Chain A
């Protein structure tokens, strides 16, 4: 699984778009980019995932660069409830062995009123 690099912390004003970057320069062709978040003392929550194309769902948008070496998670209108640690994870679509998530340190996002 490719290694990811995220800034340790970020701040964003309530109501503005929060853009969380992730570098994954060693990503290989069959590896997906996943985003999870963890609100204090709760279990991680799946947000979105993608392979090549940009993806959007009710929670967020995922923008993956053309060379796939980096991506950005966008929360379009951040609220105080979006304050959490956000994890970017790269994982191959392997059908062998355990389907495990490898969490790094993540980005601690603080939404300010």
Chain B
């Protein structure tokens, strides 16, 4: 079975531009979460979506937005890019949110560089 897939793998943008990152969860998984990982740090939670509804948001500005589609895939959008947005963006999928086991399966990430 395919794991979590993300596209693109790498991306280079300039300050002020907008970017869209895409994620396809494991088949049968209904929840998608997004994390940002800056070099040298652990991943930081951005959003979680379940059944197309936002379940939670981390401490990120409104420039960050996301959505989930009927097929459970998801997009993360970042507007007005700043140099500090350069990071590895990780998508994680899980079966559901109503579970005691927080087993999230991560994709390989999208490496975003903002120049």
Contacts and interface: CB of A to CB of B under 8 A. Distances in A.
Contact of B97 (A44, A49, A99, A106): A99
Contacts of B47: 98
Nearest to A44: B106
Interface in B68-115: 88, 90, 92, 94, 97-109
Contact of B45 (A32, A34, A102): A102
Interface string A81-111: 0000101000101010111111111100000
Contacts of B107: 43
Q: How big is chain A's contact interface, by range?
A: 20 to 34
A104 B107 CA distance: 19
Contact of A32 (B4, B98, B100, B106): B100
Contacts of B33: 98-100
B24 interface: no
Nearest to B91: A43
B27 interface: no
Contact of A49 (B102, B105, B109): B102
Interface of B: 4, 31, 33, 35, 41-45, 47-48, 55-58, 88, 90, 92, 94, 97-109
Which 4 A/B pairs are nearest by Cβ-Cβ distance?
A98-B56, A43-B106, A103-B42, A93-B100
Given A32-B101, A43-B92, 9 more contacts: A44-B43, A44-B106, A91-B102, A98-B47, A99-B55, A99-B102, A101-B43, A101-B102, A105-B41
8 contacts: A32-B100, A43-B92, A101-B35, A101-B92, A101-B104, A102-B45, A103-B42, A105-B42
